[in-house]
């Protein structure tokens, strides 16, 4: 296995047998320490590059002569919003630069096009999701219902759950359940029973940016004699719709798999060491992973959030080399994706397996405990 000049094979232990107990998280993180170095100039370069791409694509929306090209530029702008969000995600984890205050400002700047409130994302993602990944009742991200919970829902809410879990609904799920409920002026109940002034300030910041963005597109439409509605559709609505579907798809793929376990008891969850067992490394051809700033190397990110995005690929390889058969590595295909969507509807915590909406097991069940 190849390592960078910072990490040599001699500095790492031998690969762990699948039958051996998993080491403590601190031990596993120690293997990745050389890969957690952050470089400030790279953060500025990445942010400048992606903002240039985003603004260039919005200019394409205004300047293109045909509707299909305007729409294509709008969709591509949505993809770049995803790239900017990943940079902000790193900054929020304090893994973008070595400077805490700088990370907070760069994160807020990177989050603007995705209309993400920095402080609310910090609380919901860093504290709740990373702190309690796949612990039902705490981690709210794609938390599955039990059959009893599903049956107790009113018909309209059951229909919405079916959409969310259909394979076609991750974007709707993210927009409704995460962004709208938890990122845009959330109620105290949606923000964990706490409210801080910084939450409101960040919501006002992204709301102001959204208004400025829409006003700029409107002004350009009027200045060029074009349809305001058409330019708003292609220059604001399409990028945001693409972004919501992109992030919903990515988060769904990271944490939904027939082999991924959920827990409803903290003691069992702690024994499972969920920083390794609850994430999926989705692999793609054609260097697609690099196009999304290596966010798909997700196990390494959950093991050590301080690793910057430009070192995640090597960190993931290191973990998969040292922990063979412990990490879920899934080559992506649309067949696998929709098979997963059909299988992972509800969760049975007694049998520790995924089920369909009728409660029939669709994934591997836990073996009964020894007497």
What average pLDDT does the chain have? 90
For β-strands 280-283 and 328-331, DSSP reports them as parallel
What pLDDT is attached to residue 283? 93
Buried b (16+ CB within 10 A) or exposed e, 216-252: ebbebbeeeeeeeeebbbbbbebbbbbbbbbbbbbbb
pLDDT in tens, 58-106: 999 999 999 999 999 999 999 999 999 999 999 999 999 999 999 999 9
Provide the residue count of the chain: 371
3-state helix, strand, coil in the chain (%, to 5): 60, 5, 35
**Cβ-contact 170, 251 below 8 angstroms:** yes
What pLDDT is attached to residue 17? 84
Contacts of 95 (CB under 8 A, 6+ apart): 36, 38, 305, 306, 307, 308, 309
pLDDT bucket at 1, cuts 50 / 70 / 90 = very low
Query: How large is the average pLDDT for residues 257-273?
Result: 88
**pLDDT over 90 at 16, yes or no:** no
What pLDDT is attached to residue 192? 67
For β-strands 280-283 and 353-355, DSSP reports them as unpaired
pLDDT bucket at 366, cuts 50 / 70 / 90 = low
**pLDDT over 70 at 354, yes or no:** yes
Query: How large is the average pLDDT for residues 116-142?
Result: 91
pLDDT bucket at 187, cuts 50 / 70 / 90 = confident
**pLDDT over 80 at 321, yes or no:** yes
> What percent of the chain is modeled with pLDDT above 70?
95
pLDDT in tens, 198-245: 999 999 999 999 999 999 999 999 999 999 999 999 999 999 999 999
| Phi, psi angle pair for 367, to nearest 5° | -70, 145
**pLDDT over 70 at 369, yes or no:** no
**Cβ-contact 280, 296 below 8 angstroms:** no
**pLDDT over 70 at 365, yes or no:** no
**Cβ-contact 268, 20 below 8 angstroms:** no
pLDDT bucket at 33, cuts 50 / 70 / 90 = confident
Query: How large is the average pLDDT for residues 109-130?
Result: 94
Closest CA to 279 of 336, 326, 331, 224: 326
Query: How large is the average pLDDT for residues 167-188?
Result: 92
**pLDDT over 50 at 370, yes or no:** no
């Amino acid at each position: 296995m190849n390592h960078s000049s910072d990490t040599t094979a001699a500095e790492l232990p031998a690969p762990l047998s699948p039958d051996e107990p998993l080491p403590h998280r601190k031990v596993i993180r120690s293997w990745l320490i050389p890969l957690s170095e952050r470089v400030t100039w790279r953060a500025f370069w990445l942010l400048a590059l992606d903002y240039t791409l985003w603004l260039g694509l919005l200019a394409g929306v205004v300047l293109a002569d045909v509707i299909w090209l305007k729409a294509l530029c709008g969709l591509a702008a949505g993809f770049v919003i995803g790239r900017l969000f990943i940079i902000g995600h790193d900054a929020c984890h304090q893994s973008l630069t070595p400077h805490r205050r700088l990370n907070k400002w760069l994160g807020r700047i990177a989050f603007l096009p995705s209309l993400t409130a920095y402080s609310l994302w910090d609380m919901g993602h860093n504290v709740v999701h990373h702190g309690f990944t796949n612990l039902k009742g705490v981690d709210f991200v794609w938390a599955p219902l039990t059959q009893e919970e599903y049956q107790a829902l009113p018909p309209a809410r059951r229909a919405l759950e079916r959409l969310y879990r259909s394979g076609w609904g991750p974007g709707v799920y993210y927009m409704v359940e995460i962004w709208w409920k938890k990122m845009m002026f959330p109620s105290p109940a949606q923000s964990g029973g706490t409210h801080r002034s910084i939450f409101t300030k960040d919501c006002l910041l992204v709301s102001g940016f959204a208004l400025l963005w829409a006003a700029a597109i409107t002004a350009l439409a009027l200045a060029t004699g074009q349809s305001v509605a058409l330019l708003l559709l292609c220059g604001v609505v399409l990028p945001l719709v693409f972004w919501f579907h992109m992030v919903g798809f990515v988060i769904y793929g990271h944490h939904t798999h027939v082999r991924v376990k959920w827990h409803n008891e903290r003691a069992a969850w702690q024994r499972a060491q969920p920083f390794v067992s609850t994430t999926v490394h989705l692999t793609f051809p054609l260097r697609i992973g690099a196009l999304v700033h290596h966010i798909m190397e997700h196990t390494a990110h959950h093991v050590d959030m301080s690793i910057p995005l430009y070192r995640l690929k090597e960190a993931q390889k290191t973990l998969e080399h040292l922990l063979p058969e412990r990490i879920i590595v899934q080559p992506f295909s649309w067949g696998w994706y929709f098979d997963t969507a059909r299988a992972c509807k509800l969760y049975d915590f007694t049998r520790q397996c995924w089920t369909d909406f009728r409660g029939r097991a669709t994934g591997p069940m836990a073996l009964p405990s020894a007497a």
